Structure 1
């Protein structure tokens, strides 16, 4: 790869002395290439399902910014980001309008502008495909952490729900999967650059080496599957029988919450129907039952009728039920809470969502954001942040509970596994996103988590998509949107550890440092040259 990366273009278009007219002629083609790259990357994500296209996104961006200055790279990265994030996040505005959607997509695209600038800056270095791929990880680490705790949606790794790259989640989590995708793409870009340079010279060895490197990365991913768990739900530990109830909602949209009693009744009815099927010998008796987020938006601690209905369902199925509830308090707050409801003793252990969604579950600086959209006032009371890791033990299961978007935050899921979870549960409510790709995109994150931690992941959604994800990321069961459905599966309570769990965030930080170090090297080299020039 070093032989490939050591060469630079014969004349970088943005190099000192390059003709302004030449820059003007070439920039539109680069802009079109960046736009095409963003759209191609979009096609790799769930909803389109062409995951094998993912490396072409980083390849297009690397080619577009190759040899440019940081300012041009920032523009090209912004174009790439807008063409990717605006359609990817279109679900975020389905019921609240275009402004919140475009604001979120634009903010996410700003991070791709930073990536474009950094990639352009390091594109003249030896081994530039490696630095470019590492910068993808660094950019996603920044995007997932800063400003209102970040929003790590649409990371490269989350496009890979099957295939050779997915296995790498077990060794370095989502960051390593994303790095592998990006490196494959940047090596393809290097091969193309080398072929263009070799035209008429017959020196194709650098291009061949780069192409071999691009093929080697997914090949290594394919080999990495060999020691990993397969699709069995019951191997690896004592099994418990788990039921998932998707009760559905009266209608899509924000107004589902105005009919919260109907949503609760749907989940009670689904559980009663399951109990009848168990009594008839048509279904296995579950040890635990999982209801989704918002299955009881009536606080069962305060509303006796809601508590009575949940107790009725738990008693009928004769198993503890994990209920997703909205609970009043403390004070002016409310909480998004998972409650273990025992058929005999009622409510027990709880998990309070640790990462409520800003501008959806709580509104910081409300007056400021109201200036842009009055939709913030749809959030009438702010959700409190939970402080305890979501490990819940009931019915023989060790459940690591995460709620809705928490599944895309690496540390939150890692915490429940390290606390001793034998399986992971994602309680979610996607009713507010209509018939969009949001549910598929969120399910993709659950599939990555299954491989990352070698655990079965149970997704319970009010209106879909609910699913049982095997430890190899495959789907043992899944529902459709806006249908009532129930699953019953035996699931092993695993206690094995993956390398990804043991390493934690280390792969991400190492790759971030690698990209950051390359960028720093360019900056220091430029400063040294300026000082040397000034001395003469």
Structure 2
């Protein structure tokens, strides 16, 4: 009989009639039915991806991150792993494509490939959320899986890409103070837990059986979501720190020289960016001479502030010496210098003394794939000719950026390194009394990227109880207090200078002391919950991955 059924997409009623008649519908009919029934959930997943993207800068409506987490929890609750993976993939694709649109400056292919790669982690998490949703206390396991997903994206592939962590959408929310206890992972955990508890409250209140008990459960979950959100207010922010015999403050000047134009070719002619920073330094000192600003004790230039190698370009060396002589204090200069061989360069922050010239330096440890080096160069260069623009690969450093610049022992991190927990943690744990972020965002000047990176720096200030000094070629340069408040900041695409009295700290927050332990613990708990749920289900179903009820459900969604 089945052979006589036409291969058309029939209505759900027709499919039911066939089932009642003992006829198995053709495969095309079954697929069409599943697609139609899954469309509403797919559309809601897409909406949740948009809401999650809007929670990040530059829009920055952080409560939407809770709504997105709650939405994904509802959409995956009670579903099969395959359905959860699809829902997570849809949300992840929309979210990442929106969040990372600024990468289209490099190329639409790079933007699409990175977004897909990042979305795959969210898809895996979606499968995990569906699996643990049948366990008791599932909101807790849901929050742990969010941390596990971010833990994985922070590390693989090619060293990871941690953009889009829930913590980075909550750098000025009630959850933010939790960073001082467990770093960015604890903030992400609390946001995810609050969102999952909101979802649990909705599910409980929708239950028709045992309305009184369900009502109490729903109210309890809602109360738990509120508690997870406001517990941060009970955490004292590190507004006062200790010093170990060194000066308690340093007067720091920050120079933003600007670039000729934004985009991949921001440098313009050789020496132009360097000349801009020399001119801005002279402008800073003219204001000091006029009594408008205090005399700085050190001056910070941004990443790539010298657009030519000052070690082998006499004109560049002389220009930096002239600027340093004008300030009369040590400067931190950003420059690209020759690497260990002809194929490599190094991205460095160089301490420049006004009398003796260049001294100690820090080499960026985490170059950006495809932007600062080309993985699998010998293969990819044959097919993607645009990669020829990255003529030489950046050689990674292997030491932490602890540098003595005048009276301040700084922890230097360069550009995207501020997104990586371990690099920033080491810069503080190994003696940095103030965090310095040298960055060059000129490539992404008219996008959301500078605001997104700026938000990360605010979170780092609270996480480590350190002032953060940002020096950017074309903005955003800023000084952020240890409590995350913005003391001063510049605008994009301008030449500007800052001159701020910055606190120097030696005390460590709890997050500094525990390091990555909370992230590992929460991730392992989440993965362990998935393993336990799979084992329990297999034992109950006699070894089948899905129970008969779950297989039946999979045919209807």
Common fold by TM > 0.5: yes
Q: Which runs of 4+ in 1 moved over 2 A?
A: 19-26, 198-203, 257-260, 367-375, 526-534
What are the Cα deviations for residues 85-120 of structure 1, in whole angstroms up to 9, with x where unaligned? 1010000112x2211111111111111001111111
Q: Confirm or deny: 8 A CA contact 2:350 2:361 kept in the other structure.
A: yes
Q: Confirm or deny: 8 A CA contact 1:231 1:472 kept in the other structure.
A: no
Q: Report SS of the residue matched to 2:175.
A: helix
Q: Report SS of the residue matched to 2:393.
A: coil
What are the Cα deviations for residues 283-334 of structure 1, in whole angstroms up to 9, with x where unaligned? 1110110000000121111011100000000000111110000001221211
Partner residue of 2:377? 366
Closer/same/farther in 2, CA of residues 245 and 199 from structure 1, 3 Å limit: farther
Closer/same/farther in 2, CA of residues 230 and 65 from structure 1, 3 Å limit: farther
The answer to whether 1:520 aligns with 2:528 is: no
- Residue of 519, 541, 557 corresponding to 1:508: 519
Closer/same/farther in 2, CA of residues 500 and 530 from structure 1, 3 Å limit: same
Query: 2:379, 2:233 → 1: CA distance?
Result: 49
CA offset at residue 281 of structure 1? 1.4
Q: Report SS of the residue matched to 1:296.
A: coil
Query: 1:86, 1:372 → 2: CA distance?
Result: 24
Closer/same/farther in 2, CA of residues 157 and 362 from structure 1, 3 Å limit: same
The answer to whether 1:476 aligns with 2:473 is: no
Partner residue of 1:432? 443
Q: Confirm or deny: 8 A CA contact 2:247 2:407 kept in the other structure.
A: no
Partner residue of 1:216? 227
Q: Report SS of the residue matched to 1:164.
A: coil
The answer to whether 1:316 aligns with 2:326 is: yes
Question: Which runs of no fewer than 5 residues in structure 2 stay unpaired?
Answer: 1-24, 546-557
Q: Confirm or deny: 8 A CA contact 2:241 2:465 kept in the other structure.
A: no
CA offset at residue 260 of structure 1? 3.9
What CA RMSD, in Å, does the superposition of the two structures yield over aligned residues?
2.0
Query: 1:99, 1:434 → 2: CA distance?
Result: 20
Q: Report SS of the residue matched to 1:257.
A: coil
* 1:199-210 correspondence runs (5 A): 201-203=211-213, 204-210=215-221
Question: Which runs of no fewer than 5 residues in structure 1 stay unpaired?
Answer: 1-18
* 1:160-179 correspondence runs (5 A): 160-179=170-189
The answer to whether 1:101 aligns with 2:104 is: no
The answer to whether 1:378 aligns with 2:378 is: no
- TM-score of the aligned structures, taking structure 1 as reference length: 0.92
Partner residue of 1:3? none
Partner residue of 2:55? 44
Partner residue of 1:4? none
Number of matched residues? 511
Partner residue of 2:346? 335
Q: Confirm or deny: 8 A CA contact 1:429 1:463 kept in the other structure.
A: yes
Q: Report SS of the residue matched to 2:394.
A: coil
CA offset at residue 49 of structure 1? 1.8
Q: Confirm or deny: 8 A CA contact 1:244 1:487 kept in the other structure.
A: yes
Q: Confirm or deny: 8 A CA contact 1:339 1:347 kept in the other structure.
A: yes
Q: Which moved more, 1:252-261 or 1:475-484?
A: 252-261
Query: 2:347, 2:414 → 1: CA distance?
Result: 8
- Residue of 266, 281, 296 corresponding to 1:271: 281
Query: 2:83, 2:411 → 1: CA distance?
Result: 45
Partner residue of 2:405? 394
Partner residue of 1:65? 76
Partner residue of 2:164? 154
Partner residue of 1:495? 506
Q: Confirm or deny: 8 A CA contact 2:260 2:268 kept in the other structure.
A: no
Query: 1:519, 1:104 → 2: CA distance?
Result: 27
